[in-house]
Amino acid sequence: MATLAVIAAAAAGAGAYAWQPSIDALPERPVPAVNQAQLAQGARIAAQGDCMVCHTSAHGKPYAGGLPLKTPFGTIYSTNITPDTATGIGSWSLAAFERAMRSGVSRDGHLLYPAFPYAHFTRG
């Protein structure tokens, strides 16, 4: 009985570690007016970070994900990071994006596998 209690406590602890609180999606449109300077800066950072190489599958739409990455634990597919609000990260707030980039936690709270090199983006 005591063993079961210890296992249950350990499982609950692991669950709490493996799942962080979700961050709300942004409210429905309208999308804020595009700031051209900010857009250019983002494009430059995306190019420097080489985000496209992982987030684009062979013959796929740029940044739409689906590239298979083989790991010792199985194949991980890169995600869609286009501004599409349904399939991409268009409804993510800055807080959600920053948490993913710096801490490797998706907007819904699940931990991202370090095939996504978030550990390289933790210093600002």
Q: Which residues bind ligand HEC (CB under 6 A)?
A: 46, 49-51, 53-55, 69, 76, 78-79, 81, 89, 97, 100, 106, 112-113, 115-117
Rank residues 26 and 115 by Cβ distance to ligand HEC and give the closer one.
115
The Cα–Cα gap between 32 and 55 comes to: 25
The Cα–Cα gap between 66 and 81 comes to: 10
Q: Which amino acid is at 59?
A: H
For residue 107, the tally of other CB atoms under 10 A from its CB is 18
Rank residues 3 and 75 by Cβ distance to ligand HEC and give the closer one.
75
Least separation in angstroms between CB 97 and ligand HEC: 6
